[in-house]
Chain A
Amino acid sequence: MDNTKRLLLVTDEGYVTDRVQEILKGFPQFSVAHAATGEEARELLKESAFDAVITDIYVRGVSGLELLHHAKEKNKDVCVIIITGVDNADLAAKALKEGAFDFVIKPPALDRISNILKLVALVKA
């Protein structure tokens, strides 16, 4: 039981959610929570510590950068993966400098996400 890691998925776009959920099926070590709005995500992150967070760079009501900070407050070793469009590359670079683990360009490629998750699983093991 102790080995299960908590992962929060924050996306408001159906196809991204589906795609990432699909990949997460291959990672039984993560127990996944999903938030579809920024408010929801913010509350979940304030409530408890997560080991990993996958978030869109903009979710209704909040930016991925802000969620990154919330997540870090509870667990400074959290791995935050940011999903972003090509247009937001500068913001993504900023997120990386502030401690995001890595990020994925939309539309998210399956093997890229699963490669990153493999590394997260390794680091968190």
Chain B
Amino acid sequence: MRFSDLNSRAKKGEVPAGSPVRNAPPECAKKTEEPVKPLDAAIPDFPSGPLSAAAPERPAVPEAHPAPRTGSEADTAPAEPPISRKNRQRKHEAADRAVERPFKELDAQAREIYSRNISLAKELITQADLGYLKNYDSLMRLAELNSGTLSENQSLLSYTRYATPDDYLYAHSANVAVISQAMGLELKLDKSVVNFLGFCALAHDLGMTDYAELARKEGPLTDAEYAEITRHSASGAAKLDRFMDMEPGLRDRAKKVIVQVHERIDAGGYPDRLTNEEIDPLAQIIGIADVYEAMSHPRSWRPAGHPHNVIKHIIDKEGKGFNSKIVKAALEVLSLYPPGSMVALSTGETASVVKVNAGSLTRPTVAVWLDPDGAQVPVRLVDLIEHPLTSIERIVEEKELTTRNPKFAARRELSRWWVDW
């Protein structure tokens, strides 16, 4: 629960935020199998690639012509184009595959690791309320796995666009952990610190289960309710005592970090209104990842913000509450068009960002979904660094996507929910 959430709700008043997003109940996601498969490119519903799309086209040419034409014309005229087109097609396919094959492998690996993040986050959150915990070691191993993967496979970061339908906290905790760890690596923190950061991030909202009703409330919170929910950081930190297999020294640091996640350097945070050096840098990292994750994912009281708008808001407004180095690390990791952003390209096509290219804030790798007319095309990956003539022109928000292609927009909305089969 954050101040900005409270503020925006206060401004909007009672409007339950149109909640088109949250209204798509979890059951919907379960009913249809294809949209929830996490890899955009692997959704089986789409024609499987350039090959299958092109195949029926070729015979159509000679078939359409022979009747009205003379024999010789029919022989010569259609004979040429198919060959050259076929060659051209082959060239394109080869080029496309060259981008896609390694991407698919990396993506499959990332998916597996993300899935492990979700299941361990779920285990942690549900077991923390049962009395005692003994999975500190396994959580640290997961954090190691995340660090190792993030340093060589950026695809893992792209998975943070998912949300869990049964309880938002599961994906929220996993996403905040992945984003925080990526920031830790960007800040060149020691590997062991990055892993510890991952653990703290996974556990940062443990206290939220005590305020589950307030966290799921659809309308705006009253001041009293808000004051109550700010106590979740302390109650989460207290739950760390239930870890039987955690060193006391580490436990104290982790408690400090978790209590301070909502503190801001301009003293605008809670619970203790700390400033600058009083706040643990790890808490600042988790704090900014938490803000980004929360605002870019749907909640029961509001729809999700477009990731590009969220990162802009963070730099512009929320950034004042954070050390500038940390804001910069978040920007480097997420870029100006974070994974999951729907964008319009200069070609007129509509695409979604699937991978941030390190070092470039404006040129990620995108998956092209819709042609300039809004019709769905076989999905194709474009690395905007390798294709400098194409660029992102603007973002496409959900409303616009719905007018362009309602069917695709609905499917896209469903595909945001993570369901592990």
Is A bound to B?
A: yes
A116 to B362, CA, bound (A): 9
Shortest B355–chain A CB gap in Å is: 15
Shortest B205–chain A CB gap in Å is: 29
* Contact indicator B388/A123 (Cβ below 8 Å): no
* Residues of A with C-beta under 8 A to B386: 93
A116 to B361, CA, bound (A): 11
* Contact indicator A119/B388 (Cβ below 8 Å): no
* Known contacts A119-B336, A125-B315, A125-B316; is-contact A101 B389 (Cβ 8 Å): no
A115 to B336, CA, bound (A): 12
Partner of B361, one of A86, A89, A112, A119: A119
The size class of the interface chain A forms with chain B is 20 to 34
* Contact indicator B385/A101 (Cβ below 8 Å): no
Partner of A122, one of B315, B385, B391, B394: B315
Task: Mark out the residues of chain A between 88 and 125 whose CB falls within 8 Å of any chain B CB in the assembled complex.
Answer: 89-90, 92-93, 96-97, 99, 101-103, 105, 112, 115-116, 119, 122-123, 125
The size class of the interface chain B forms with chain A is 10 to 19
Partner of B385, one of A86, A97, A105, A125: A97
Nearest B residue to A82 by beta-carbon distance? B388
A82 to B386, CA, bound (A): 16
Task: Mark out the residues of chain A between 52 and 89 whose CB falls within 8 Å of any chain B CB in the assembled complex.
Answer: 77, 86, 89
* Contact indicator A96/B312 (Cβ below 8 Å): no
A64 to B331, CA, bound (A): 25
* Residues of A with C-beta under 8 A to B316: 122, 125
Task: Mark out the residues of chain B between 362 and 377 whose CB falls within 8 Å of any chain A CB in the assembled complex.
Answer: 362-363
A43 to B389, CA, bound (A): 31
* Residues of B with C-beta under 8 A to A115: 393-394
B359 at the interface (CB under 8 A from A): yes
* Contact indicator A89/B362 (Cβ below 8 Å): no
* Residues of A with C-beta under 8 A to B363: 96, 102
A89 to B331, CA, bound (A): 26
B151 at the interface (CB under 8 A from A): no
* Contact indicator A89/B360 (Cβ below 8 Å): no
List chain B positions with a Cβ less than 8 A from chain A.
Answer: 312, 315-316, 328, 331, 336, 359-363, 385-389, 391, 393-394
